[in-house]
Structure 1
Amino acid sequence: MTDRHVIDTVDEYDRSVAELAAGHGPIAIDTERASGYRYSQRAYLIQVFRRGAGVYLFDAPSIGSFETIDAAFEGEEWVLHAASQDLPSLREVGIQPRRLFDTELSARLLGMPKVGLGAVVEETLGIHLAKEHSAADWSTRPLPQSWLEYAALDVELLVDVRDILEQRLVENRKTRIAREEFEAVLDEPARQPRVDPWRKLSGIHSVKGIRHLAVARELWNARDAYARETDTAPGRLVPDRSLVAVVKALPRSKEALAGLREFTGRASRSQIDRWWAAIERGLSTEDLPAARAAATDHVPPPRSWAERDPDADARLKRAKPVVASIADALDMPVENLLKPDYLRRVAWHPPQPADAAAIGRELAGYGARAWQVEATAQSIADAFVDAAQNGAPESETAS
């Protein structure tokens, strides 16, 4: 097996772009990040393949900008597996695909039972693709040859997989569906920062008291700032469970904090001053958090609907199995037919009148694609009429 070479100079990168431009057909691309090791979600390795050119492995931090690759292939189709995971880090370095073929999304639309890259490659090409390095620290330098071989195969086979899946989409009359889904992935807006991200601390639900929550917030902010500063995954500095243990114990001195057995992590003692200062801020601040996170969704959990709004409960319970049966007929997961959140919203606040056209407009406003509206709106409207006439089915439970 030939050793894989990493391109880490701008001159070699420029030559590689010219060689890729001399190839033909779609461009397969993938990224390797260091999630779980680094704070950032930047790409540390970018793999590119094109027929007639071959595989190129780029050291992303060394190259910096990939805007010339983006410009060279502006009108070409890019092939990715689970594109939504890679697009943010690709855009960060200047690669903005305009045309997409997503092999993972295609596999979902085709009803394949397993849609991970290894499973899809094996099902389509009969090749077993080992995935033992998927969770590796790709910021490591130099990268071992076994890792590079793994990374190269991720793109080297992707165009062959794409061709087989495209043919199946044609045979199943799902090409329009796939095209709309691919365009939706490309048009998806950047994720907005979470409000009160500290409330995602694992175990925070067991913390009682506003003052304790204030300490949790300050500890989370202190850890996040240090993680950003050192480009280290926060949980590798101090695990969530350790921060929550501190919040519950509320040590009254720096010495007591250092002596807390549950306070572990590689930075727990080396940064003791940082953590103690955060605790003091939490104990003294007048800017106290709310006991509960502010509601961001006007639709309550469906388990409460039967009591809060029996009519909405009946609509949802009548519509859910109808939508599920459409997904079965189309041989795809129900969440790819219509996001459950969209159905809950339209059931909780139906338009008036709740006919197919109005329901379709509502769904489109939430983000449903045209094909999804066409496949579901009339059936949802019929289910709502059934609910108005007959109430909720006895055996169905909304969720």
Structure 2
Amino acid sequence: MDSFKALQDSISAALVSTTRSATQLRGADIPFQRSLNPALGTALDSQNARLLELAQRLLGNAATSSDVVGPKLSDVEAIDGNWKGIVDIVDSLLEKADISLDEYTGVVKRLSPPGDQAASASKSRPAFPKNVHYPKPQLSFDNVPRNTETGAFRPLITSKPHAKVSMDQCLRLFKDKTGRDQYPHPYETEIQSYEYPPSVYQESEPQPYHSFDATTATYVDTPEALATMLAELKTAKEIAIDLEHHDNRTYIGLLSLMQISTRDKDWIVDTLQPWRRRLECLNEVFADPSIIKVLHGAYMDIVWLQRDLGLYVVGLFDTFHAARSLGYPGAGLAYLLNRFTGFQAQKQYQLADWRVRPLSNELFKYAQADTHFLLYVYDNMRNELVRKSDFDDPEKNKVHDVLVKSQETALQRYENPVYDMENGLGPIGWYRPLSKTPVQYTPQQFSVFREIHKWRDDVARVEDESTNFVMPNHTVFSIARTMPKDGAELTSVLPPNNHIPRTRVEELLAVIRKAKDADEQPDLIETLKRISEMEYAARIASRSANVAVQSAAPKPAPALQRPPPVAVLETPDLRALSSSFWGKLLSKGMAEQRRPMSTVSINLALPLPPLTAEIFSEANGAEVEESPSVGKTEHTFVPKDQRPAEDTRSDIFIVKQLGGHKRKRTEVDEAPHPFQTDELMLEDTDADNVQGQDEKAREKARKKAAKKAAKKQKSRDLPPTNEEALDDGEEEPAFDYANAPSVLRAQEVEAQRAKGKKKKDKKDRKKKDQAFNPYAALQDAPKGLPRSQKEGPGKSKTFLS
């Protein structure tokens, strides 16, 4: 510790001295000093070269501990051109130092065991630094994968256990929708005609799993261990399967590990052995129709098994589709394990490098957990599917839906990756990333993008690396946008960890120049529109073909399914055979025909007779009975003087005539208004009550008349109002809405009417002068809290004394 402290102090002192000297030299006029003293210029050049060499060595040493490659500093100008690379190295070192300090202080928990455990673990398995290249496992295979194959993928199987169709018939070429030759799925007939056992449709008690901590998986890395495992698997009724895949340091991908579990035992199969093709013997179990194969999210697993090992699955049950059918909030394997077993899966190992051998204890346990609980999860999900399924209704049969989707997954077929330069279609084409990225490229930039994307695929095939490892997508977009002209500009666009493009700068610049100078440079928008229309037409054609196949050869319903019953709605007989409005509803023959009908449309709640022409025609023999109210009546002439007096009142009325205006009733009242019915006027009344009410009304009218007479005596000089005119017996004119004054000028109208009146007291005048306020209702809102309660010295607002 003391030696490190002394070294740190010496380095700090040297850095301080160097910084001060550089600052002093920066303030001097170096070109002037060079002209005066040539020896000084020579000394400065030698010091510059020495400092550049020291900086290059420091960057090289720092790059060995980081994930980036140090730039080359050939001269002083190279520092400015490669400044971004220098910053990347420093940032990487600082980030690693920060992570180490966090792990040392305990802020972040170590993923690897600390202390002596880490030392023992490092002895058991080699470390794989990212910047060190080791021989790839695929180079030692008996059958090395060839990335340049673009033709039809021939299945790897040499025999076909549990076959219904011979192997020779399964290996006949056919044309796909793009016109390329392809080999069919070897077990297509067996999967399509497969019938799941009755146990899948029945609810049973889940079989408990063995303790995970007390169970150790068997590692299969020899042909002898493989034969022993195969013999035990043949006796099982259900098995669980899972795979670990690596796709970063290989072009087509690499199946690195396979986990298999039964009710009693777990196996971890090493699929990176040079004899990995011998695992084809597992088809004796994988294709056995009497064994249920449980996988989770097997869409890609099915393809990987075909591509690397020649294995095919018959009788698949995918728990991913079951989780979707049951409507779980999560469909991942970690969620299902936690839901049914409470086991917390360490998913940080999912992206681990599964090529490392031997496997660490953490990776081994993680791989075992993926299948150890899966059969117990299958039991619980199967029971829930059965409980929530209605086998009489195909639309509510969740078990059938999951099995159909599982069969579709098992029918997936691997094809060699073919790069489509023209349209960019396929999983490795340029159309998918470009359609998901909102870019606006010129024809020249679009041409550069396509050429760079194609160059990346070619290099990845040659180097046996993934396309993202060679160059990530965002770098392809950046190069197409900037279109670099020289090596320095291209290097500034490439990320520091893109080793392959940095060693092929001149080759990449030649591709860019070729794309920029190309004669044909299609437009981006038009190309995307053309491809979109082409895909839409292909989907329509595929959908029509599927409909035609289903109608020509409908698939038989699975076992334990009964045809759905027909909904029956009992309809009572009609109450009458004729109506005064519709006429004769049903003829005698139609009525007899209607009686045996037992099924009608449930959507029609009220059955109506068919409105045909023969119902209303008189020539069909149907006679309609005429009621007396419908027959014709003869009118007799009445002289004018003998006719009853007509009601001169019209339909035009004033609201006050209908009771809107409270006025005194005279002794001789008018007749009831035509809008008032006799039932209203005579309801719950008798003569005594009417007479008593009239006497009270007369007395009240006398008092009111006397009061108003006195009021008139005081204001004779004022013109009478409408109410007073009505009290005197005059007829009230109709209210003129067009010429009426606005309520917003109510104060001015009242002021004009008040002219000539005697002076009133202040209180009455204040009430009269109030104008119309449209916001008066808002003043009724509750008041808020006061601003703040300030307390003076010796006084308290809380307690009042």
* TM-score in terms of structure 1 length: 0.69
User: Quick check: 1:77–1:97 contact (8 Å CA) kept in 2?
Assistant: no
Inter-CA distance 119–44: structure 2 relative to 1 (3 Å threshold): same
Quote the Cα distance in structure 1 between the aligned partners of 2:509 and 2:386.
Answer: 62
In structure 2, what is the equivalent of residue 241 of structure 1? 474
1:222 aligns with 2:455: yes
Quote the Cα distance in structure 2 between the aligned partners of 1:155 and 1:176.
Answer: 24
Give deviations 1:194-251, integer Å, cap 9, x for gaps: 7411233468642512222221112112212222333323222222222222212212
SS of the residue 1:56 aligns to: strand
Cα distance, 1:90 vs structure 2: 1.1
| Residues 1-399 of structure 1: pairs in structure 2 closer than 5 A | 6-21=219-234, 23-52=235-264, 54-62=265-273, 63-65=275-277, 66-75=279-288, 76-92=291-307, 93-173=309-389, 174-190=398-414, 195-196=423-424, 197-201=429-433, 205-260=438-493, 265-286=498-519, 288-291=521-524, 292-293=527-528, 294-297=530-533, 361=547
Inter-CA distance 40–145: structure 2 relative to 1 (3 Å threshold): farther
SS of the residue 1:132 aligns to: helix
Consecutive unaligned residues of structure 1, counting only runs of 5 or more, are 301-340, 352-359, 376-399
User: Quick check: 1:26–1:50 contact (8 Å CA) kept in 2?
Assistant: yes
SS of the residue 1:101 aligns to: strand
Amino acid at match of 1:83: A
Quote the Cα distance in structure 1 between the aligned partners of 2:285 and 2:226.
Answer: 13
Inter-CA distance 18–189: structure 2 relative to 1 (3 Å threshold): closer
Give deviations 1:103-149, integer Å, cap 9, x for gaps: 11111111111110011122122333232211222223333221121
Higher relative contact order (CA 8 A, sep 6+): 1
User: Quick check: 1:31–1:46 contact (8 Å CA) kept in 2?
Assistant: yes
Inter-CA distance 260–177: structure 2 relative to 1 (3 Å threshold): closer
Give deviations 1:146-185, integer Å, cap 9, x for gaps: 1121111101111111111111111111222222222222
SS of the residue 2:302 aligns to: helix
Cα distance, 1:3 vs structure 2: 6.7
In structure 2, what is the equivalent of residue 332 of structure 1? none
SS of the residue 1:29 aligns to: strand
Quote the Cα distance in structure 1 between the aligned partners of 2:327 and 2:292.
Answer: 23
User: Quick check: 1:29–1:46 contact (8 Å CA) kept in 2?
Assistant: yes
Deviates more, 1:78-87 or 1:179-188: 179-188
SS of the residue 1:67 aligns to: helix
Quote the Cα distance in structure 2 between the aligned partners of 1:233 and 1:299.
Answer: 27
Amino acid at match of 2:451: E
User: Quick check: 1:6–1:57 contact (8 Å CA) kept in 2?
Assistant: yes
SS of the residue 1:206 aligns to: coil
Cα distance, 1:277 vs structure 2: 3.0
User: Quick check: 2:292–2:316 contact (8 Å CA) kept in 1?
Assistant: yes
In structure 1, what is the equivalent of residue 17 of structure 2? none
Inter-CA distance 55–290: structure 2 relative to 1 (3 Å threshold): farther
Quote the Cα distance in structure 2 between the aligned partners of 1:263 and 1:212.
Answer: 24
SS of the residue 2:402 aligns to: helix
Quote the Cα distance in structure 2 between the aligned partners of 1:258 and 1:32.
Answer: 36
Quote the Cα distance in structure 1 between the aligned partners of 2:322 and 2:510.
Answer: 51
Quote the Cα distance in structure 1 between the aligned partners of 2:368 and 2:432.
Answer: 35
Quote the Cα distance in structure 1 between the aligned partners of 2:249 and 2:219.
Answer: 21
SS of the residue 2:294 aligns to: strand
User: Quick check: 1:44–1:61 contact (8 Å CA) kept in 2?
Assistant: yes
Give deviations 1:265-322, integer Å, cap 9, x for gaps: 233312323322322332334454452233245687xxxxxxxxxxxxxxxxxxxxxx
Give deviations 1:34-68, integer Å, cap 9, x for gaps: 2445432331111111234x221122131422210
Quote the Cα distance in structure 2 between the aligned partners of 1:69 and 1:13.
Answer: 9
User: Quick check: 1:210–1:290 contact (8 Å CA) kept in 2?
Assistant: yes
Give deviations 1:333-366, integer Å, cap 9, x for gaps: xxxxxxxx99xx69xxx99xxxxxxxx947969x
SS of the residue 1:28 aligns to: strand
Give deviations 1:48-99, integer Å, cap 9, x for gaps: 11234x2211221314222100124422221100111211001121110011
Cα distance, 1:260 vs structure 2: 4.1
User: Quick check: 2:302–2:409 contact (8 Å CA) kept in 1?
Assistant: no
Quote the Cα distance in structure 1 between the aligned partners of 2:402 and 2:409.
Answer: 11
Deviates more, 1:264-273 or 1:84-93: 264-273
Give the structure with the higher percent helix: 1
Cα distance, 1:259 vs structure 2: 4.3
User: Quick check: 1:215–1:283 contact (8 Å CA) kept in 2?
Assistant: yes
- Identity fraction in percent: 22
Inter-CA distance 262–41: structure 2 relative to 1 (3 Å threshold): closer
Inter-CA distance 142–257: structure 2 relative to 1 (3 Å threshold): same
Quote the Cα distance in structure 1 between the aligned partners of 2:506 and 2:451.
Answer: 13
Inter-CA distance 204–128: structure 2 relative to 1 (3 Å threshold): closer
Quote the Cα distance in structure 1 between the aligned partners of 2:549 and 2:330.
Answer: 28
Quote the Cα distance in structure 2 between the aligned partners of 1:84 and 1:151.
Answer: 19
Consecutive unaligned residues of structure 2, counting only runs of 5 or more, are 1-212, 390-397, 558-562, 565-801
Quote the Cα distance in structure 2 between the aligned partners of 1:363 and 1:296.
Answer: 26
User: Quick check: 1:222–1:274 contact (8 Å CA) kept in 2?
Assistant: no
In structure 1, what is the equivalent of residue 592 of structure 2? none
Cα distance, 1:100 vs structure 2: 0.6
Cα distance, 1:7 vs structure 2: 2.7
Inter-CA distance 299–70: structure 2 relative to 1 (3 Å threshold): closer
Amino acid at match of 1:215: V
User: Quick check: 1:246–1:263 contact (8 Å CA) kept in 2?
Assistant: no
